[in-house]
Amino acid sequence: MQNTLKIVGIQTDLVWENAQQNISFFEEKINDLERTVDLIVLPEMFTTGFTIHPERVAEKMNGFSVLWMQKIARNKQVAICGSLVISDNDTYYNRLIFVHPSGAIETYNKRHSFTLAKEDKVYTSGTKKIIIEYKGWKICPLICYDLRFPVWARNTENYDLLIFMANWPAPRVKAWKTLLKARAIENMSYVIGVNIIGKDANDYAYSGNSLIIDYLGTKISSLQKNEAGIISATLEKNKQDTIRKKLGFLNDMDSFKIDYSK
């Protein structure tokens, strides 16, 4: 088990529905990172922007973008994750791909479709929350709108790191920052939230404000409005475990069951 985990999130503008250009940009940024990074977090739909036209951009699990992620993971010996528009069995998913340094893949399909943008009309929602085990850390990866639903993120698995990747609009950035802090505090977990900046083809604006927060809600790393760059931190599992044991808040949580039919 590894006590420390060096994580990086990349915040940037995205070229609309252009996987080649976006991947070229991310590869350049990744090549500039320190060799000691353990985990790289990319935004939601990092090759396309938040599109509701999956038929124009969808890839298979053996497509260009997933193969690129595997190449980066193997060559850099780093884990990398981000969400993509994936076509699987004639169904479209907003799918988070987590690639281990070995090239092994784990996936999570976004549970909460953003009905305001009609995401639910074109993408199939996921029904399974996953916990990824990596270097002795338990990681819970979620996507954008999932942030608004604390029951889905509730730390019943004793995870150590909660990931949110997003295309979160600028008019609601106050909610983004507030809810990231809330998820960290209520789950006593490190949280990283990676958002984008700029405007998309529909003229929706995104203001970034990517964050890394500790288990008590303290900001560790951040980027400001419309600032391209990276957030980074070295997380310490022993410190988090010590505070959890001392305070015992997670021991007092309510039990519940999730109704997947809704």
Question: What pLDDT is stored for residue 225 in this prediction?
Answer: 81
Is residue 259 situated within a structural domain?
no
Domain count, the chain: 1
Is residue 209 situated within a structural domain?
yes
Domain limits for position 126: 4-252
Is residue 261 situated within a structural domain?
no
SS3 category, 169:
strand
From the list 81, 110, 119, 181, the catalytic residue is 110
Q: What is the pTM of this model?
A: 0.97
CA distances from 28 to 10, 32, 127, 149 (A): 11, 7, 35, 34
Is residue 159 situated within a structural domain?
yes
Digit-by-digit pLDDT tens for the chain (262 residues) are 899 999 999 999 999 999 999 999 999 999 999 889 999 999 999 999 999 999 999 999 999 999 999 999 999 999 999 999 999 999 999 999 999 999 999 999 999 999 999 999 999 999 999 999 999 999 999 999 999 999 999 999 999 999 999 999 999 999 999 999 999 999 999 999 999 999 999 999 999 999 999 999 999 999 988 899 999 999 999 999 999 999 999 999 998 888 877 6
Interhelix angle 19-31/64-76, nearest 10 degrees: 10
Is residue 81 annotated as part of the catalytic site, yes or no?
no
What are the residues whose beta carbons fall under 8 Å from the beta carbon of 211, sequence distance 6 or more? Answer: 177, 180, 191, 192, 193, 219, 221, 222, 231
From the list 17, 81, 119, 144, the catalytic residue is 144
- Asked if 147 and 141 count as a contact pair (C-beta separation under 8 A), the reply is no
- Per-residue pLDDT tens for 134-159? 999 999 999 999 999 999 999 999 99
Is residue 260 situated within a structural domain?
no
Burial call 152-168: b when 16+ CB within 10 Å, e when fewer? ebbbeeebbbbbbbbbb
From the list 44, 59, 106, 119, the catalytic residue is 44
DSSP classification of residue 144: G
Residue closest to 97 by CA, chosen among 114, 109, 87, 89: 109
Which strand (E) or helix (H) includes residue 171? none
Is residue 30 situated within a structural domain?
yes
Is residue 178 situated within a structural domain?
yes
As separate numbers, helices (DSSP H) first and strands (DSSP E) second, the chain gives 7, 14
Instruction: State the CATH number of the domain containing residue 246.
Output: 3.60.110.10
Query: Rounded to a whole number, what is the distance in angstroms from the first to the last CA of the chain?
Result: 38
Is residue 114 situated within a structural domain?
yes
- Per-residue pLDDT tens for 202-242? 999 999 999 999 999 999 999 988 899 999 999 999 999 99
